[in-house]
Amino acid sequence: MRYEKVKMSSLWKNKKILVAGGTGFVGVNLVRRLLSLGVHLRATLHRKEPVITDERIEYVNCDLLKMEDCHRAVKDIDYVFMCAANTSGAAVMAKTPLVHVTPNIIMNSQMLEASYFAKIKKFIWLSSSAAYPPSGDRPVKEDVMFNGDPYDTYFGVGWMKRFTEILCRLYSEKLRDPMTTVVLRPSNIYGPYDDYDFATSHMMAATIRKIVERHSPIKVWGTGNDIRDLIYIDDFIDALILAAEKINTFDAINIGLGKAYSIKQILHMTCEVDGYTGPQIVYDTSKPSMIPVRLIDTSKARKLLGFKPRVDLREGIAKTIEWYKKRFIGDLKKVKSLGTAKSFMIEYEK
């Protein structure tokens, strides 16, 4: 299926927009989309150089752990997309569960406060479906978020997300002069400009890199039976823009593909798409299962936003692999001769 962008309204023209986290996965893709909407665009940088270079983007170097930098970032802005976060993959989270707690609470709290006093019209924040309590194989609706603790492996980051959702509601509903806040709870997002560093990458990015680089064996945490909902980044950006356009009071909305796939299915589908036959796959059951099943109900997004994903998993995998090869390999004929990840990255950096 050919992907066509959702038609957006004209309200974006000349709006002053801040993308906090302009070099992150979601931030980079959001910056690319906003450039097509005629906005005045500002994006924050921290440790990384700009990924998208365009004279229409005002990049500002900020450490959002510093309040003065938060105030500087939001000055004279209409809408804030808070995409900045301290993130990593399952391995880092399992080893150091506090790594996502304190920095994110500080950044989120300070950016909300700075935005409020700058009289921002709308603040859009990214939560996570990982913050939901265990629900078995039942797709979770938005109203069950606080009906029990998150999974133990996500206890810290889950409650961090929940705390920030409460802060968003506070600014939107509990103050005399409220600021509209919108919360999106995405499932697993994947696609171009994701983090492909094995030390910090999420499942899908790591899987695609291992297969493109022809790893053998391919090592997988757990049994491979964990269930995931994966949404392609272009679809998620559609939902993000639509939510900013259409939601004018506090709300939290699930965003996902609405389909379930096991890790094994995802792995075999990715191999099929890239023509990698007969890889040795090792399931390391000594490693922890993060969330055995996580399915989200996406009916609210369809109703409120008119949102329906346009890219199925197989197509999204194919598009991501094509982008990955063009960006990191160049000559597609080299794929079959790639060595280890380490030697590949050294070769690329040269």
pLDDT in tens, 238-260: 999 999 999 999 999 999 999 99
Q: Which of 7-11, 213-217, 279-283, 342-346 has the lowest mean pLDDT?
A: 342-346
Give the angle 327-194-282 at the CA atoms, nearest 5°: 95
Q: If we measure between CA atoms, which residue out of 25, 29, 57 comes closest to residue 44? A: 57
Provide mean pLDDT across the span 323-348. Answer: 52
Q: If we measure between CA atoms, which residue out of 189, 183, 270, 269 comes closest to residue 229? A: 189
Mean pLDDT computed over every residue of the chain: 89
Rg, C-alpha atoms of the chain: 20
State the CATH architecture for 11-349: 3-Layer(aba) Sandwich (3.40)
CA 15 – CA 79 distance, rounded (Å) = 8
Three-state secondary structure call for residue 76: coil
- For the chain, the first-to-last Cα distance in angstroms comes to 36
Three-state secondary structure call for residue 67: helix
Decide if pLDDT at 269 tops 80: yes
CA 305 – CA 7 distance, rounded (Å) = 12
Q: Which of 62-71, 95-104, 220-229 has the lowest mean pLDDT?
A: 95-104
**Residues constituting the chain:** 350
CB atoms within 10 A of CB 36: 10
What pLDDT does 285 receive? Answer: 86
CA 170 – CA 35 distance, rounded (Å) = 31
Task: Delimit the domains of the chain by residue range.
Answer: 11-349
pTM above 0.85, yes or no: yes
Q: Do residues 63 and 69 make contact, with C-beta atoms less than 8 angstroms apart?
A: yes
Provide mean pLDDT across the span 303-325. Answer: 97
What pLDDT does 347 receive? Answer: 27
Give whole-number Cα distances, 304 to 21, 248, 253, 307, in Å. 27, 11, 9, 8
Q: What is the secondary structure of 135-197 as a DSSP string?
A: -TTSPBPGGGTTSSPPPGGGHHHHHHHHHHHHHHHHHHHSSSS--EEEEEEE-EEESTT----
Decide if pLDDT at 134 tops 80: yes
Binned at pLDDT 50, 70 and 90, residue 325 comes out as very high
Q: Do residues 88 and 157 make contact, with C-beta atoms less than 8 angstroms apart?
A: no
142-180 pLDDT per residue, tens: 999 999 999 988 899 999 999 999 999 999 999 999 999
Would you call the peptide bond into 217 cis, given omega within 30 degrees of 0 as the criterion?
A: yes
What pLDDT does 89 receive? Answer: 57
Decide if pLDDT at 106 tops 90: yes
Decide if pLDDT at 94 tops 70: no
Q: Do residues 144 and 135 make contact, with C-beta atoms less than 8 angstroms apart?
A: yes
Four-point Cα dihedral 299, 241, 147, 297, nearest 10: 20
DSSP 293: B
